[in-house]
Amino acid sequence: MATETTRQLTGHLKSVVVTGLTTVLGMGAGIASSVLELDPSSRTALGVLAAAILVQFPILQVVGVDIDEFSTKDYLYIGFMTFSLWFVTWSILLTTAPA
């Protein structure tokens, strides 16, 4: 009997993958907002952030994280961490940009 098994990440490895992905995509969204030269009050900048948050869930499924087990706390964690890194990265790039 052939059974197909899927490899699911659990425990500490799952936490490291989720945290690493939120960090990279948050920083990437901040860099993208800077490269696109978006105005800090524009809605497009929030669209870049929203896209960075939403793209994480399919990526997590591909790498083996079971997002069906996520609670509200997990979704809030992903959103907050991505927002935080986006905000800090973009703020640094806005304040250090050449005049």
Considering just the CA atoms, what is the radius of gyration of the chain in Å?
Answer: 16
Q: What is the pLDDT of residues 3-31, one digit of tens each?
A: 444 577 778 898 999 999 999 999 999 99
- The larger pLDDT score, comparing residue 37 to residue 1, is at 37
Encode 68-92 in three state secondary structure.
HHCCHHHHHHHHHHHHHHHHHHHHH
Pairwise CA distance, residues 41 & 30, whole Å: 14
In the chain, domain spans: 11-94
Q: What is the pLDDT of residues 53-62, one digit of tens each?
A: 999 999 999 9
DSSP assignment of the chain equals ----------HHHHHHHHHHHHHHHHHHHHHHHHHTT--TT-HHHHHHHHHHHHTHHHHHHHHT--GGG--HHHHHHHHHHHHHHHHHHHHHHHHSS--
